[in-house]
Structure 1
Amino acid sequence: METSAGTETEAVALARRLYAALAAGDTDLLGDLLAPDFTGRLAEGMPAGVGGTHEGPQQMWRDGWGGIGRAFAARAEPDRFLAVDGGRLLVTGRYRGAGRRGGGPLDAEFAHLITVVDGRITALDQYTDTALWRDAQPPYRTLRVGVSDGVARIQLDRPAQHNALNDVMGDDLRRATALLASDPAVRAVLLSGAGGTFSAGGDIGLFHETPDDALPARLGGMVDALAAAVETLAGLDAPVVAAVQGAAAGAGLALVCVADLVVAAEDAVFTIGYGGIGLTADGGLSWTLPRLVGARRARELFLTGRRLTAAEAQDWGLVTRVVPADEVPAEAERLAARVAAGPTSAFGAVRRLLRDSYDTPLHAQLRAEQEAVVAAGGSADLREGVTAFLERRRPAFIGR
């Protein structure tokens, strides 16, 4: 459908106001410009976990544009507006700026396909060179992150603070997990902590030094970042292994609970910790913990602050294996290497089936299993697995 001159002028005017609102952070103007059913699609592979589809203006602002703003000091500079079929507008230009907290410069072309209906923007599709965005990111300040032989290793790296979570670590975790989720080379994730402690939970010193009127917002930002990281880890095809030495408390315990396999030192301890400082749950613990240990035991941990030994944690279902402290890194590496050599797509389907089974009726779960089996039936990994079984050899899975 050919766009009329009047509609084109209106669309360009709306687009210009959109870029001005984004540059100014004017959420009220954005609310006027975006339709209630607005859909934003940011390029897959965008850093900071912002890639993908965002439904509604609020989600786009919080998780899409907001995510970009948290990681980058950058703005979109449009230079060309072209009407295209279907009442849409193609806008081209450049993103210019830099990654925050010591990141590099950003200068990347973009193309935005904007849809306007009845005087409001109903959709925006972004196309850009995501590699340039990733190159502009700052280095991690609280993590050590690397990928080799199919295993992504995330080590919490604030040993002087017992790897306690602060707002910087929250942002680092959000960014690291999002990046790993977009990396097809990742077939397992190994979580650990530097300095002999997995994580002591939230950074109480940070809470103490934050003014009372600023603390709720600071806590909200930290919890939001941790939640994004946990949700990303839970949604991966790649299995997650946790190596626990010392303590796993609060937010640290939340990371343990999202893992599929947990190796713990004989002297490791596990605790909630929130009640002791007057806080509630975060990192999905109110969801994951009851599913692992049962509702009654979860209540006990939350309400009494009980500390579990590694042996108790294994008995309760929190831990897969307990080994001497000096054997934890090697044992966790062995487990990560083993699952990394497995059929990654099939593992991802199994993770989803297990996660959803608590809330799914039997007939629906059987249907979901059937769909997963049919999908796996067309995979190269199934053919390799069957062939290797018949040839009495170890399969060489490729993850798809």
Structure 2
Amino acid sequence: MTINELEGQAQRFYQALAAGDRAVLDELLHPQFVGTTTRGLPLNLGGVYQGPEQMRRHFWGTLARHYQARAEIEQIVRVAEDQLQVVGVYTGHGIKSGTPLDARFVHLLRFRGGRLLALEQITDSGAWQAALTPVATLDVQVEEGIALIQLDRASANNGINAQMARELLEVARRCAADPSLRVVVLQGKGKSFTVGGDIDFLSSVEADALPAMLGDMTTHYHEALRIFNRLPVPVIAAVQGVAAGGGLGLMYCADLVLAAQDCRFALGFSALGLSMDGANSWFLPRLVGARRAAELYFENRVLSAQEALEWGLVNRVVPVDQLKPEAMACARRLAQGAATGFAQARQLLRQSWDKSLSEQLEAETDALCRSAAKPEVQQALKAFGAKRAQR
């Protein structure tokens, strides 16, 4: 075979692997095919596979169940009459972990009669193992009743991947179950709050698997938002850099939003041909009005921090270096407040959008009575009356 013919067969082989095209693989693989893979690969994948069926079922099949991965070819060199050396990188991620895969490889392909007779693989087994290991995407610290929840994927601008969606739900449930909690602070590490969905992660998902992946991610993420929105304690969002896409949902769950002067707000969905998630379609029309919500989506409008303040998306704008200190100072002030009153007021404010005036007036009466039954409220009333009498 000529070098062009060999390279053509090699390209067909890698394309068929990426597409899971069994018909093409059956055509390309020699009946006496032998695959030799790197010792030390996780899932007991390293070793020798005799025949196309064994390689397909026990090696490539196992890979497909645990990874979204593809081989990206960088160089093909003819090393013998019917042999090619292929150099490249495996990219993708662990399916359950969401951890990126970045593993260099060298393949030696040997052909006979135009069909692939043998494949010898050398790859970074450690990188394959690492892709199976979930990487913590949140840094959570609870001190004196204040939970500081920081998105911790600064290298990806805190893009939300499958792992972060699951961890946000777990943390939201922990907050809801902690009776000692007084305030929650949401923040992003690094330069940005969050860019929303991690495009690099999502673009690595095979096309036919993308809808299911998005469905799984948004199910976890939306449940996290629902819980944060219903917490009986004040929530503060400290926002810097970029706040975009579905990540805006974390802002919507907050009662107070502090924005750094460098902040930029955008949806970004329309540029990708996507609709919305992160409760944007519910919160935005209520916060900024239907016309402005449509403008943000259809025109892919980007707001500055000052514009976000004018539109009612944030409470105040602060210098970049004062964002976290200001947010934590606010959290400490709120942590000293009346827990029962805050819980009742937060519920009233959050539910008011769905209630009629009569329903809301009745809810206010019920909440006020529940608050008044607390000893600390009665003590506060007496103390206030005593101060007024002294004037």
Specify whether residues 269 and 185 from structure 1 end up closer, same or farther in structure 2 by C-alpha distance, changes over 3 A only: same
Structure 1 Cα separation of the partners of residues 272 and 209 of structure 2: 17
Residue of structure 2 equivalent to 1:125:
none
Q: CA deviation at 1:255?
A: 0.7
Amino acid at match of 2:196: G
Instruction: Provide, for residues 107-164 of structure 1, a one-character-per-residue CA deviation record: whole Å limited to 9, x for no partner.
Output: xxxxxxxxxxxxxxxxxxxxxxxxxxxxxxx997100001111111100000000000
1:163 aligns with 2:158: yes
Matched, 1:320 2:315: yes
Once the two structures are superposed, residues 255-308 of structure 1 have per-residue CA deviations (whole angstroms, 9 ceiling, x without a partner) of 112111011111101111111111111121111111111111111111111010
Map 1:1-400 onto structure 2 (within 5 A). Answer: 141-390=136-385, 392=387
| Alpha-carbon distance between aligned partners in 1 of 2:186 and 2:273, rounded to the nearest angstrom | 28
Q: Encode CA deviations 1:325-366: one digit per residue, 9 max, x unaligned.
A: 000000111111111211222212212212222221111111
Q: Considering only CA atoms, is the larger Rg found in Structure 1 or Structure 2?
A: 2
Letter in 1 for 2:266: T
Residue identity in the other structure for 1:292: L
In structure 2, how many angstroms separate the alpha carbons of the residues matched to 1:160 and 1:140?
A: 13
Find the aligned partners of 2:328 and 2:200 in 1 and give their Cα distance.
Answer: 33
Provide structure 2 residue ranges, at least 5 long, that are not aligned to the other structure: 1-95, 98-132
Task: Look up the SS of the partner of 1:196 in the other structure.
Answer: coil
Give the match's secondary structure for 1:190. strand
Mean Cα displacement is larger for which, 267-276 or 335-344? Answer: 335-344
Please give the secondary structure, in 1, of the residue aligned with 2:208.
coil
Residue identity over aligned pairs, in percent, reads 45
Q: TM-score, normalised by structure 1?
A: 0.62
Q: Counterpart of 1:372 in structure 2: which amino acid?
A: A
- Cα 1:278/1:339, change in 2 over 3 Å: same
Give TM-score scaled by structure 2 length: 0.64
**Whole-Å Cα distance in 2 between the matches of residues 299 and 388 of structure 1?**
50
The secondary structure found in structure 2 opposite 1:206 is helix
8 Å CA contact 2:233–2:346 kept in 1: the answer is no
Q: How far apart in 1 are the matches of 2:202 and 2:256? A: 31
1:384: how far off? 3.4
Unaligned runs of 5+ in 1: 1-100, 103-137, 394-400
Look up the SS of the partner of 1:153 in the other structure: strand
